[in-house]
Structure 1
């Protein structure tokens, strides 16, 4: 009886989510999304977790055999010009904010250092940024590719159809979610993840004064900061952080089902990773 009640409740939650998502698509989505041709059946997505350095140092040949996707601040590293990735994905609005130090630094490197053809996948809202458009217009090798970042939830049969049409996508709490989704829709048969550590929760700690300390660790460096200086004392950073983690891993759960629906294999080749819904493999 209890299970039946829960099933009914779940049905109406999905129904409401589906209806609300359809309205969002009607209002916000662009109906003319184009896909650039892919060069291979395989692609490698480079997350920026600490383990990526080991993967790049020891498995560079494997990486270079496939189409390469990088994300966020990858352009600030020396590996950017060494690997010459043919795809880049940006999602965070920080990248259209000229006052954001690290994001604007990555944009500068992307424009200055790119001397090969590259597709830069960005949400349609970036198209409205004069700063962003001005920067990209200065490099003829950069080809912006716009996509609908309109979160679509509800019944799998409906949202997977919407996803395939590129009118909506899963909530991308992490940029890798958006990257895996784009690679599925581009038609890759095998998607390999590297540097997808997702070990943020290991770096959060309380000191003897009950102050929350966290390490922001990436393959290109590490930064330690005091959380209490960033949020209100009345607000639990722990609650907010673990809710964010829940959303991220839930996004991968949806992606795993969508990948199966599209006949795509997503293989997690990261040296260490907390993502548990994709097949885990080791590179030798």
Structure 2
């Protein structure tokens, strides 16, 4: 089951890759990866999301055996320490191995489109499956960011992934939806999706929001030279989005820096309680 804290869940990102957009290369070493995960867990993360293939715009794919070799030792060790883990992968073979190693959740940025066998793995394992909105792999996705009504189209395309998952035998209660901010989206699309989050929430599924340090925040925070702010300068903006997403009713936020977002979702929970009490 996915974590169900009494507030919006905070999912900590652990990229064991050399080329992720924000922290690529920092946690390739096993000991560094483990210590970073432990620190996020100590701070209160509800789930640690372990990924072995970068999905930043333009990123090249790696072979499945390389991806597996990056994530499996990390997952085995962290699971043995009692942490709740998800595996960030679009490959069924990697997901299956990760679940056997101790992961509890599949976080699939392709929503099952990249590997048709992923639905079988999800159905057989009964693991929660995060279906993200996706239109193509990293090298192609910027060219696929064409929408007439991005909120309606993302909602409908995610519903088609839900239908496919259910037809494959995945239980409805196992599904989590993610609007896929930054994936085949321009900044205006990301903001429209955040503003229209209620449309996705109205479907009745838990919703995961992944805004952490993304390009649309960097562009928002551009300096006088119009240069986007670098990823490590987007943390306050990330926490602000976490607050708004939590207040809107999102199940979870996926972030690189869990401390700030834990504070943010605590504020949102107190805000909601105050409004209810009032």
Pick the TM interval, shorter chain.
0.3 to 0.5
Greater strand percent: which structure? 1
Q: Which has the higher contact order (CA 8 A, sep 6+)?
A: 1
* TM-score normalised by L of structure 2: 0.38
Structure number with larger C-alpha Rg: 1
* TM-score normalised by L of structure 1: 0.38
